[in-house]
């Protein structure tokens, strides 16, 4: 009887320890998520308040941070009765614009935009960006290239000195499906590092972009001092490459939401 009691006690304490450490971990995970979401929200809000005015055409980026920007934009359009046309950079952005009852435009009717607001996976000291972590980069780059300003909104984890310091998943490159192997080989031979085909989640096989293409993630060598403008140009010239997630010399201003509730802005030198 005694032995059985001890066994039960031990099992009980083991289970108790297991569940309490699980709850502690999930509690700290949700605190981090809350802090990141709050940082995204305040950055998005400031950017929308400072860059959107009546009668403007705004490019709407993709990702999780842009959701906060669209929410704020919808609030302002409603309360201030603004006339704003929104040009999406992805299927997700299009849905956000429609769900928030904003006015949907496109590049055929509005080939010149006042501003594009978008997120980023990493922003280095020169305001060179890595984008495409969520599979959207080509339409983002096209829309940004048509805008007078590209305004980036991000939480504090996206800020880095050099690309690759924070974002470890590599540089996304959108490719025509039949070309993914030769493009991977050429990038590896030219620059080194590792290139992987991005696989879909909840679907067998590769991820397919909004444009019907594949994404390669290039984990570039971090021990070399890569010159991003020339890297971008070289990769873009490889037949089969549609676009890279490297945004060089395009950023007008970055809004970083910080953990203390403030927003730090950075502009090109
Ligand atoms: O493919 C996704 C886009 O480039 C996003 O703008 C980028 O990944 C940042 O997304 P998030 O705001 O979710 O960090």
> Where are the domains positioned within the chain?
29-266
| Residue in 50, 112, 140, 174 annotated catalytic | 140
Told to judge if 267 belongs to the known catalytic residues of this protein, a careful annotator would answer no
For ligand 1, atom 10, which residue shows the shortest CA distance? 63
CB atoms within 10 A of CB 130: 26
**Residue whose entry in the numeric block shows the structure tokens 């080989």:** 185
CA of 137 to the centre of ligand 1 (A): 9
* 3-class state of residue 242 by DSSP: strand
Report the pocket of ligand 1 as residue ranges, CB < 6 Å. Answer: 61-65, 118-121, 131-137, 140
Beta bridge partners of 147: 113
Tokens coding 87: 């040009």
ipTM of the complex: 0.99
In eight-state DSSP terms, residue 222 is: T
Strands (E), the chain: 56-60, 84-88, 103-104, 115-118, 122-123, 129-130, 150-155, 171-175, 194-197, 214-219, 241-244, 246-247, 253-257, 263-266
Q: What is the pTM of this model?
A: 0.91
| pLDDT score at 26 | 73
**Residue whose entry in the numeric block shows the structure tokens 């990038």:** 187
Closest-CA residue to 120 (of 167, 88, 86): 167
Tokens coding 209: 């972009």
Please give the chain's pLDDT, 269 residues, in tens. 455 566 667 776 677 776 677 666 777 888 899 999 999 999 999 999 999 999 999 999 999 999 999 999 999 999 999 999 999 999 999 999 999 999 999 999 999 999 999 999 999 999 999 999 999 999 999 999 999 999 999 999 999 999 999 999 999 999 999 999 999 999 999 999 999 999 999 999 999 999 999 999 999 999 999 999 999 999 999 999 999 999 999 999 999 999 999 999 999 98
Cα dist. 226→35, 100, 103, 164, 191 in Å?
33, 41, 41, 11, 9
The CATH class given to the 29-266 domain equals alpha beta
* 3-class state of residue 193 by DSSP: coil
**Which residue from 38, 42, 59, 64 has its CB within 8 A of the most atoms of ligand 1, so it is best to mutate?**
64
Largest CA distance in the chain: 82
- Is residue 245 within 8 A of residue 131, CB to CB? The reply is yes
* 3-class state of residue 181 by DSSP: helix
Atom of ligand 1 nearest to the CA of 137: 4
**Which residue from 36, 38, 61 has its CB within 8 A of the most atoms of ligand 1, so it is best to mutate?**
61
* 3-class state of residue 113 by DSSP: strand
Atom of ligand 1 nearest to the CA of 135: 1
CA of 10 to the centre of ligand 1 (A): 47
CA 135 to chain CA centroid, Å, is 9
For ligand 1, atom 3, which residue shows the shortest CA distance? 132
For ligand 1, atom 8, which residue shows the shortest CA distance? 133
**Which residue from 59, 92, 120 has its CB within 8 A of the most atoms of ligand 1, so it is best to mutate?**
120
Closest-CA residue to 154 (of 265, 76, 73, 9): 265
d(CA 233, CA 216): 17
Beta bridge partners of 118: 152
């Amino acid at each position: 009887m005694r032995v059985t009691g001890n066994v039960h006690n031990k099992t009980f304490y083991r289970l108790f320890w297991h569940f309490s450490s699980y709850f502690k971990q999930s509690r700290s995970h949700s605190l981090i998520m809350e802090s990141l979401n709050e940082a995204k929200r305040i950055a998005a809000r400031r950017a929308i308040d400072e860059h959107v005015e009546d009668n403007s055409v705004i490019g709407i980026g993709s990702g999780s941070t842009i959701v906060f920007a669209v929410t704020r934009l919808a609030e302002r359009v409603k309360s201030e009765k603004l006339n704003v046309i929104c040009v999406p950079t992805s299927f997700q952005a299009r849905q956000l614009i429609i769900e928030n009852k904003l006015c949907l435009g496109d590049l055929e009717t509005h080939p010149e935009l006042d501003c594009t607001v978008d997120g980023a996976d990493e922003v280095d000291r020169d305001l060179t960006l890595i984008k495409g972590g969520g599979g959207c980069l080509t339409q983002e780059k096209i829309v940004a290239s048509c805008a007078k300003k590209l305004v980036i909104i991000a939480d504090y984890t996206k800020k880095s000195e050099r690309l690759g310091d924070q974002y470890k998943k590599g540089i996304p490159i959108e490719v025509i499906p039949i070309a993914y192997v030769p493009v991977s080989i050429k990038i590896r031979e030219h620059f080194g590092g590792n290139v992987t085909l991005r696989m879909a989640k909840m679907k067998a096989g590769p991820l397919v972009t909004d444009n019907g293409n594949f994404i390669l993630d290039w984990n570039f060598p971090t021990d070399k001092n890569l010159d991003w403008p020339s890297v971008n140009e070289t990769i873009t010239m490889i037949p089969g490459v549609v676009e890279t997630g490297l945004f060089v010399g395009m950023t007008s201003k970055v809004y970083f939401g910080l953990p203390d509730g403030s927003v730090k802005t950075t502009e090109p030198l």
